Amino acid sequence: MKIISAKLRRLLSTHPYRIAGCGFLLAVLLHSLLTAGCARGAGGGGGGGGNVGLEVDGFVLKEEEIEGLRFVPGEIDPMGNFIQLDIQPAKAYWLIAGEGIAPRWDTFEWHWERKGAMCAFNDNTSTDDCKVCNYCSLPPNVPGGPPCFGERPDFGDGRYDIVYDEGFIQTDNPKFETDLVNSFNPATGSSVNPHAACSSNSSVTGLTYFRPTNALYYMRSGQSLTFMGRTMDEDEIKIHVVPADGPRTTAYQIPDKFTETENGANGPETHDYWVWTMDLSSLWDENFSPNLRVTDIRIFKGKCSVDPTLGGKCAIPPLSLPVKPSRILFLPNFRTIGSVALHLGVSSHRCYSVPNISDPFLGNFINLASCLETSPTNTTPSPQRKDVTPAYDTDSGPPLVRRPLTWLIEFNTNEGADADLTKSGLDPMPPNAELIIEFTIQVK
């Protein structure tokens, strides 16, 4: 089903990377189409201009487009097979070094228009004057009549490339990542498996993939094929790679506060929390490989600056000072429950600040690799390891059922919180303070 915003994009977009040639899918389709033996080759027998304008039986090929383009993350097994990670789709992925990314799409369409007619092709449905041939869902051979008219794609000399920009902003001169027309898959020992990128292909064996670096990835070509993602954000992907020998950090502005009064040992207790959670719409802002985990967490006073060339949501200003929380809670499904007091998982989803660290001005008061589940002011807790990402609890269930996390940060001076580490004593956090949360991400 085609969405209106995608159609508007096709009409309005003029940037070169939005126009792509008949390369990879055309190549993967050639194998199956040639084996049918009854299809005529479209275009000029290898010319680089694509097939738009081809006339057959009173119809003209108006346009070619791929819809539902997105990039999916996956692990690579010892045989070289790409195994897609079962995590929620996102605008950006954090992966471990060696994991891969593969392009997938829903349709590859040829839009035929009867000469003299005007077609909008709004819902991918053929009419008497407007024919839609989807090469992702063809019968065993290509029939001689509409909607395909016996034609098969001809990619010509144009490459069908995945490219990237290390500055996370699309440019006119991106770096070349891979040519999907001629790519080689080590698992199959051959070139691209026919129809592998189509989502109608339930198998990922032979799916063409690449191992990314830190960059923005997308597809481009000099020919006449238009790409459209399922949403405005899915025809490109930001990738962050965490090496095995060193951590990386990611930061976010804390936008909300939450106050709750509950019955304590000495009567009613009021708790003020600063609250952050990943944007969990149908397409998450970011998502993380389950092979990653959070270790150190730091809280800063200040407001995020924006540096799109870093590919992140938040850049911590150089003069921002760390502060000391009393504890941090990372509660699964908090949005549904809406209460700390009623949440049954609090005791195993909280970490208290280390009371004495070697350099407090670094702000490393919370470490999920050595989490203090109870307050050190009242007990001598035994450190516990917690395996979570900023977005979800990696141990909370099977893939795609893992529970999204909400992070709640409390500043209780009775438990050691300090809003100003430059002064003696314990300063309370001002109620209107702007705060940033920074996660250190490491390979498990």
What DSSP state is assigned to residue 105? B
Q: Do 328 and 297 touch, CB atoms closer than 8 A?
A: yes
Residue 424's pLDDT is what? 92
Percent of the chain with pLDDT over 70: 80
**Highest mean pLDDT: which range of 12-16, 31-35, 141-145, 244-248:** 244-248
Domain end call among 203, 226, 242: 242
Residue 50's pLDDT is what? 58
Q: Residue 394: pLDDT band by 50, 70, 90 thresholds?
A: confident
Same domain as 211, residue 258: no
In whole angstroms, give the CA distance from residue 97 to residue 111: 41
pLDDT at 258 over 60: yes
Percent of the chain with pLDDT over 90: 51
Instruction: Tell me whether strands 236-242 and 92-96 are parallel, antiparallel or unpaired.
Output: parallel
Q: Identify the residue with better confidence: 27 or 337.
A: 337
| 240-250 per-position pLDDT tens digit | 999 998 899 99
pLDDT at 282 over 50: yes
- Any idea which of 210-214, 261-265, 395-399 has the lowest mean pLDDT? 395-399
Q: Do 197 and 207 touch, CB atoms closer than 8 A?
A: yes
| 196-214 per-position pLDDT tens digit | 788 887 766 667 788 999 9
Domain end call among 242, 265, 283: 242
Report the predicted TM-score, pTM, of the whole model to 2 decimal places: 0.84
Q: Residue 356: pLDDT band by 50, 70, 90 thresholds?
A: confident
Same domain as 283, residue 238: no
In 3-state terms, what secondary structure has residue 368?
A: helix
* Domain count of the fold of the chain: 2
Domain end call among 242, 264, 288: 242
pLDDT at 28 over 80: no
Q: Identify the residue with better confidence: 369 or 156.
A: 369
Same domain as 265, residue 176: no
Residue 170's pLDDT is what? 93
Average pLDDT in the 38-50 region? 34
Same domain as 232, residue 373: no
AA identity, residue 20: A
Q: Residue 274: pLDDT band by 50, 70, 90 thresholds?
A: very high
In whole angstroms, give the CA distance from residue 25 to residue 28: 5
pLDDT at 19 over 50: no
How big is the chain by its Cα radius of gyration, in Å? 26
Same domain as 287, residue 229: no
CA-nearest of 102, 122, 98, 126 to 112 is 126
Same domain as 159, residue 122: yes
Same domain as 339, residue 212: no
- The mean pLDDT value of the chain amounts to 82
- Any idea which of 32-36, 52-56, 384-388 has the lowest mean pLDDT? 32-36
Residue 21's pLDDT is what? 34
Give the range of the structural domain holding residue 60, as residue numbers without chain letter: 4-242
As beta bridge partners, residue 69 has 229
Same domain as 262, residue 211: no
Same domain as 259, residue 222: no
Same domain as 326, residue 210: no
Average pLDDT in the 81-92 region? 89
pLDDT at 262 over 70: yes
Q: Do 308 and 332 touch, CB atoms closer than 8 A?
A: no
Structure token pair of residue 318:
């150089």
Same domain as 43, residue 24: yes
Same domain as 324, residue 196: no
